[in-house]
């Protein structure tokens, strides 16, 4: 485990795997364990760097949190690696990747359904407040279930408990309830600028089964960028990188200039 000191003095931990040019993987509301099944697909060609988001895993924390703190954490990791990295962010990690790339040197950028809220949904969501109410009522588990229903399933799922029983992060993710409530507060405060000035090429990924508000958000991000590619995966939801790894990894490897490693990947 490596560590770097962020701008406000907080220690940010990051894992490092493999050898080669740097590839930074930014997790969203879950833990860095999210990327565990993805890392082996890249370690033969890249130094894969997996930061632990502030307040999660081995990283330190601070009493005050806002988007700028998370962006500073990512920039500190980018400055610590050898050379301009490819950065791949999922969900809130996608938003951090986009904002960090506005101010840091990155080679290429990939974002899977970045946590960008637009239009009426941004004004009405109040996810953080609804999570906080459940937390204050002493039911952290219900707060997390509410978040998962809304963010992973767009508010609609017939049997959430059945789905959770098959979802590997459950119930350990309940330990992150307060942390996730605060990043939702940050997401709701973020307003996408009319133009995102990012020098690096950007690949935007989404799935047809992803939550509608994030599918709207990623299209708005695409419109705000001047140098982006947009890819939509049929029958894939918000968990795309781990839900359909062969398809997602094939597109990512093609975008960053490496040949696919397997028949399954090259067949998409």
50 and 92 within one domain: yes
Indicate whether this model's pTM tops 0.85. yes
CA 97 to chain centre: 8
Q: Give the count of beta carbons closer than 10 Å to the beta carbon of residue 266.
A: 13
Identify the CATH number of the domain in which residue 91 sits.
3.40.50.1820
Q: Mean pLDDT across the stretch 101-122?
A: 94
207 and 144 within one domain: no
15 and 90 within one domain: yes
Domain ranges, residue 47: 2-118+192-266
Alpha-carbon distance 18 to 39, whole Å?
Answer: 9
Question: Which of these three, 181, 201, 218, is where a domain ends?
Answer: 181
CA dihedral 89, 94, 99, 104 (to 10 degrees): 10
pLDDT 10s digits, 231-262: 999 999 999 999 999 999 999 999 998 433 33
210 and 92 within one domain: yes
Tokens 């067949």 locate to 267
pLDDT 10s digits, 81-107: 989 999 999 999 999 999 999 989 999
pLDDT 10s digits, 45-80: 999 999 999 999 999 999 889 999 999 999 999 999
pLDDT at 156: 83
Alpha-carbon distance 194 to 189, whole Å?
Answer: 16
138 and 103 within one domain: no
Tell me which DSSP letter residue 182 carries.
H
β-bridge pairing 202-207 and 86-90: unpaired
Asked if 28 contacts 115 with a C-beta cutoff of 8 angstroms, the reply is yes
| Residue 128 belongs to some domain of the structure | yes
Question: Which of these three, 154, 181, 208, is where a domain ends?
Answer: 181
Asked if 12 contacts 61 with a C-beta cutoff of 8 angstroms, the reply is no
196 and 174 within one domain: no
| Residue 248 belongs to some domain of the structure | yes
To the nearest 5 percent, what fractions of the chain are helix, strand and coil? Answer: 45, 15, 40
81 and 11 within one domain: yes
List helix spans (H) across 176-262: 177-189, 212-224, 240-243, 245-256
| Residue 154 belongs to some domain of the structure | yes
174 and 79 within one domain: no
255 and 167 within one domain: no
pLDDT at 257: 85
251 and 149 within one domain: no
Number of compact structural domains in the chain: 2
Alpha-carbon distance 145 to 148, whole Å?
Answer: 5
Phi, psi of 81 (to 5 degrees): -85, 165
């Amino acid at each position: 485990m490596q560590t770097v000191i962020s701008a406000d003095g907080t220690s940010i931990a990051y894992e490092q795997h493999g050898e080669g040019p740097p590839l930074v993987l930014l997790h969203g509301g879950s833990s860095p364990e999210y990327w565990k099944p993805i890392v082996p697909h890249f370690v033969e060609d890249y130094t894969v760097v997996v930061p632990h988001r502030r307040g999660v895993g081995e990283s330190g924390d601070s009493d005050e949190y806002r988007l700028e703190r998370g962006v500073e954490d990512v920039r500190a990791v980018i400055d610590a690696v050898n050379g301009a990295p490819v950065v791949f962010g999922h969900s809130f990690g996608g938003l951090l990747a986009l904002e960090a790339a506005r101010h840091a040197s990155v080679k290429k950028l990939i974002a899977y359904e970045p946590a960008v809220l637009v239009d009426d949904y941004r004004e009405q969501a109040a996810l953080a407040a609804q999570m906080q109410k459940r937390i204050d009522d002493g039911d952290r588990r219900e707060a997390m279930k509410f978040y998962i229903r809304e963010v992973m399933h767009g508010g609609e799922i017939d049997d959430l408990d059945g789905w959770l029983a098959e979802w590997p992060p459950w119930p350990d993710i309940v330990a992150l309830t307060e942390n996730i409530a605060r990043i939702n507060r940050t997401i709701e405060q973020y307003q996408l600028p009319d133009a995102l000035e990012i020098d690096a090429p950007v690949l935007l990924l989404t799935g047809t089964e992803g939550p509608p508000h994030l599918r709207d958000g990623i299209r708005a991000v695409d419109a705000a960028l001047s140098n982006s590619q947009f890819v939509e995966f049929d029958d894939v939801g918000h968990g795309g990188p781990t839900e359909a790894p062969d398809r997602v990894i094939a597109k990512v490897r093609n975008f960053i200039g490496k040949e696919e490693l397997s028949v399954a990947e090259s067949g998409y």
